[in-house]
Chain A
Amino acid sequence: MTTFLQLMVNGLGKGAVFALLALGFVVIYKATEVVNFAHGSLVLFGGYLVLVTKDHIGWAAAAIIGILSAGLLALAVERLLLARSRHADPFSLALLTIGVDVIITEEIIRRLGVSVPFIGDAWDAKPIQLGGITLFRTHLVALLVATVLITAFFLASRYTNWGIAMRAQAENREAAALVGIRSSRVTASAWLLAGLLAGIAVLFIATQDFSGAGLSRGTHSIALAAFPAAILGGLDSTVGAIVGGVAVGLVDALSTYYVSFAFAKSAVFLVMLVVLVVRPAGLFGTRETTRV
């Protein structure tokens, strides 16, 4: 029972991180219909900046720098590359993001060399004893941070002009333009937000607690698990991103313990496949419907 409880907390903690990544994914997709394959490289970029600055300015300041640079990189990718081809097909733009991902990821991996540093200093490897069970501090903080951020996101999307503009554009681009919503600002803010969330997520991913992978290609592939999270939740649903993220986290934690570490990697995609067979648009996605 205590093992199960421990697994659940682990799964929820991991799920919270996947939810942050998947939310970024979905926000970009909703605003632009572009699937951002460069998400993993945003994660690595933020983490890399934390790594190179933390010995000079302290971890907390470095973490802020890392988060901001991941956000600014995402903004730059959108403004400098995607915005220039405004009427391009979303599929072509998705391919463009694959190119961006390869370039940034390979350069960072090259700079890292053989080292796989950990960057979650404030919470990493400081377990909490609670009754008879041991909990990873990383997972608990991740859960807390994600809950606050996700709540803030949903409040903002309901009650601020930004949120209204974002939802309006997601639902109907032409009508949004016709009421004076500036499409380029909405798009830019979606990328910025996704980048910031990626920068926050990496502070939890590149830790001993989360995977033991450290900042490496492993971080990149963990970040890619946000992809099945977003898809099984429904690529155009923010609620789906959260549910999908938590589902992926739980599947990962449970299958690692009860089956094997190797199986856990494919288990996530297996669950995604099963969901897609039953519900092709994902759990919360809007089904494409045509009135005849």
Chain B
Amino acid sequence: MNALHGVDLDVPDDGVLAVLGANGAGKSTLLRAVSGTLGLHRGIVTGGTIHQGELRLDRLGPAQIVRHGVVGVPEGRQIFTRMTVAENLRAGGIASTDRAAARDRVHALFPLLAERASQRAGLLSGGEQQMLAIGRALMAGPKLLLLDEPSLGLAPLMVERIGETIREIHAQGTAVVLVEQNAAMALEVADHAVVLSVGSVAMSGPVAEVAAGVHQHYLGTAATERRTLARWPG
């Protein structure tokens, strides 16, 4: 049971919004609702609306939502492991009008994907697979990119690399919603943040405000006051 109630979010046209929260807070459910893939998880939307500008997304199927520029990278990467890297990108660009330009952009962002073009995607490392998953989503030319836990299971260096990439994608003019458990990385990259707790919004606002709140709320201390790990309660 993953339900969302009264979650009200605004993603600025050119911002990075971090969505934080513990396991089961409803982060993935939120992204699935936006992408229109709740049905594939036997979920339903019983109320509420999702708008992109004037357009209502909650009445569209996932393929149409992609064609309106809202593209998701699911949790666990979910690349097509039996296909090559190039085929994965081609699949990502199936809804794109200018696939060659999109591929050039992805290759510029991730030169590795050009080097490994003919390799089976299942043979890539975890971090490389995450790059491919993001690259595949960029092939559709999104206006809004939804990332579900891109740092999951990655080494710290790779997490940093993914964080830089997200900033780069944002700088190129794509808005990003970043769902993360790795609050440190997310808060570093985002300009606005939301904290979900058991299906509703616990906190939201500019990133500095939320960061302070997170410390207060979850660690029982102000952000400035540093404690050593050993003395943390619990």
User: Are these two chains actual partners, yes or no?
Assistant: yes
Partner-B contacts on A (CB < 8 A)? 86-87, 161, 164-165, 167-168, 171-183
Report B-chain residues with C-beta under 8 Å of the C-beta of A175. Answer: 74, 78-80
Residue pair A179, B82 in contact (C-beta under 8 Å): no
Task: Take A164-B91, A165-B91 as given contacts and tell me if A179 and B140 are in contact as well, using a CB distance cutoff of 8 Å.
Answer: yes
Closest A-B pairs by Cβ, 5 of them: A180-B66, A180-B95, A177-B62, A175-B78, A182-B63
Residue pair A178, B94 in contact (C-beta under 8 Å): no
Report B-chain residues with C-beta under 8 Å of the C-beta of A173. Answer: 40
**Among candidates B40, B67, B82, B83, residue contacting A180 with C-beta atoms closer than 8 Å:** B67
Q: How many angstroms between the C-alpha atoms of A87 and B37 in the bound complex? A: 12
**Among candidates B42, B71, B83, residue contacting A178 with C-beta atoms closer than 8 Å:** B71
**Among candidates A165, A168, A178, residue contacting B62 with C-beta atoms closer than 8 Å:** A178
Interface of A is mostly: helix
Residue pair B35, A171 in contact (C-beta under 8 Å): no
Q: How far is the CB of B136 from chain A (nearest CB, A)?
A: 6
Q: Which residue of A lies closest to B63 (CB)?
A: A182
Q: How far is the CB of B102 from chain A (nearest CB, A)?
A: 12
Report B-chain residues with C-beta under 8 Å of the C-beta of A168. Answer: 80, 83, 91
**Knowing that A164-B87, A167-B87, A183-B63 are A-B contacts, what are 6 other residue pairs whose CB atoms are under 8 Å apart, sorted by A's residue number?**
A86-B39, A161-B94, A164-B90, A171-B83, A178-B37, A179-B66
Q: How many angstroms between the C-alpha atoms of A153 and B95 in the bound complex? A: 23
Residue pair A172, B66 in contact (C-beta under 8 Å): no
What is the count of residue pairs linking A and B with beta-carbon distances less than 8 angstroms?
79
Q: How far is the CB of A129 from chain B (nearest CB, A)?
A: 46
Report A-chain residues with C-beta under 8 Å of the C-beta of B214. Answer: none
**Among candidates B37, B90, B94, B136, residue contacting A174 with C-beta atoms closer than 8 Å:** B37
Residue pair B78, A174 in contact (C-beta under 8 Å): yes
Please tell me if B26 contacts chain A, counting CB pairs below 8 Å.
no
Report A-chain residues with C-beta under 8 Å of the C-beta of B211. Answer: none
12 contacts between A and B (CB under 8 A): A161-B94, A164-B91, A171-B83, A177-B35, A177-B36, A177-B40, A177-B63, A178-B37, A178-B71, A179-B71, A179-B95, A183-B63
Q: How many angstroms between the C-alpha atoms of A172 and B76 in the bound complex? A: 12
Q: How many angstroms between the C-alpha atoms of A165 and B66 in the bound complex? A: 15
Report B-chain residues with C-beta under 8 Å of the C-beta of A86. Answer: 39
Q: Which residue of A lies closest to B44 (CB)?
A: A87
Residue pair A178, B66 in contact (C-beta under 8 Å): yes
**Among candidates A164, A171, A183, residue contacting B94 with C-beta atoms closer than 8 Å:** A164
Q: How far is the CB of A68 from chain B (nearest CB, A)?
A: 27
Task: Take A167-B80, A171-B81 as given contacts and tell me if A178 and B72 are in contact as well, using a CB distance cutoff of 8 Å.
Answer: yes
Please tell me if B92 contacts chain A, counting CB pairs below 8 Å.
yes
Q: How many angstroms between the C-alpha atoms of A181 and B62 in the bound complex? A: 8
Q: How many angstroms between the C-alpha atoms of A178 and B61 in the bound complex? A: 10
Residue pair A167, B83 in contact (C-beta under 8 Å): yes
Report A-chain residues with C-beta under 8 Å of the C-beta of B81. Answer: 171
**Among candidates B73, B80, B92, residue contacting A171 with C-beta atoms closer than 8 Å:** B80
Residue pair B91, A181 in contact (C-beta under 8 Å): yes
Q: Which residue of A lies closest to B88 (CB)?
A: A168
Q: How many angstroms between the C-alpha atoms of A176 and B74 in the bound complex? A: 11
Q: How many angstroms between the C-alpha atoms of A103 and B74 in the bound complex? A: 43
Chain B 127-147 near chain A by CB (<8 Å), digits 1 or 0: 000000000110110000000
Q: Which residue of B lies closest to A86 (CB)?
A: B39
Report A-chain residues with C-beta under 8 Å of the C-beta of B87. Answer: 164, 167
Q: How many angstroms between the C-alpha atoms of A173 and B91 in the bound complex? A: 12
**Residues of chain B in range 79-134 having any CB-CB distance to chain A below 8 Å:** 79-83, 87, 90-92, 94-95
Report A-chain residues with C-beta under 8 Å of the C-beta of B139. Answer: 179
Report B-chain residues with C-beta under 8 Å of the C-beta of A183. Answer: 62-63
Q: Which residue of B lies closest to A183 (CB)?
A: B63
Task: Take A167-B83, A171-B82 as given contacts and tell me if A176 and B37 are in contact as well, using a CB distance cutoff of 8 Å.
Answer: no
Chain B 28-46 near chain A by CB (<8 Å), digits 1 or 0: 0000000111011110000
Q: Which residue of A lies closest to B65 (CB)?
A: A180
Q: Which residue of B lies closest to A175 (CB)?
A: B78
Task: Take A164-B94, A179-B94, A181-B91 as given contacts and tell me if A174 and B74 are in contact as well, using a CB distance cutoff of 8 Å.
Answer: yes
Report A-chain residues with C-beta under 8 Å of the C-beta of B79. Answer: 175
**Among candidates B39, B40, B137, residue contacting A179 with C-beta atoms closer than 8 Å:** B137
Report A-chain residues with C-beta under 8 Å of the C-beta of B136. Answer: 179
Report A-chain residues with C-beta under 8 Å of the C-beta of B67. Answer: 180
Q: How many angstroms between the C-alpha atoms of A172 and B77 in the bound complex? A: 11
Report B-chain residues with C-beta under 8 Å of the C-beta of A177. Answer: 35-37, 40, 61-63
